[in-house]
């Protein structure tokens, strides 16, 4: 899978551009539904990644792209759930997360990519 953070707020995956956060679950791409996480915005100063979202737990690794400047918070409950499921977490700025996807087969990709800050 080829992914690239094009600009602040825009990502391109396999030739398709998205102007919103995306979730990749076994190679299937859809928009991140972060409504459940918005309740924590004041606490974190940003809408964090929370267990209330439909996270792609289907693989052995979860890649989280934390945005252009690496500011997406990941709630401790997400970390604990990953540990419980024995899923390795790779939490890096989105540009680096995109590079990591290049080496993966689509069916093995489980990621959340934040496209702004």
Residues pairing with 113 in the sheet: 22, 65
The values of phi and psi at residue 48, to 5°, are: -80, 175
Task: Dihedral sign for Cα 65, 55, 109, 75, please.
Answer: positive
Band of residue 103 on the pLDDT scale cut at 50, 70, 90: confident
- Asked if the model's pLDDT at residue 104 lies above 90, the reply is no
pLDDT at 66: 98
Q: What is the pTM (predicted TM-score) of this model?
A: 0.95
Q: Mind listing the pLDDT tens digit for each residue in 35-84?
A: 999 999 999 999 999 999 999 999 999 999 999 999 999 999 999 999 99
Domain 3-113 has CATH 3.30.70.270: no
Nearest to 116 by CA among 91, 94, 92: 94
């Amino acid at each position: 899978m080829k992914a690239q953070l094009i600009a602040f707020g825009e990502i391109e995956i396999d030739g398709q551009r998205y102007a919103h956060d995306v979730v990749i679950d076994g190679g299937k791409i859809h928009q991140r539904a972060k409504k459940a996480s918005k309740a924590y915005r004041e606490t974190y100063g940003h809408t964090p990644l929370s267990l209330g979202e439909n996270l792609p737990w289907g693989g052995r690794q979860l890649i989280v792209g934390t945005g252009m400047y690496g500011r997406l918070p990941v709630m401790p409950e997400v970390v604990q759930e990953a540990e419980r499921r024995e899923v390795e977490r790779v939490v890096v700025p989105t540009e680096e997360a995109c590079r990591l996807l290049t080496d993966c087969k689509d069916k093995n990709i489980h990621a959340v990519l934040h496209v702004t800050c």
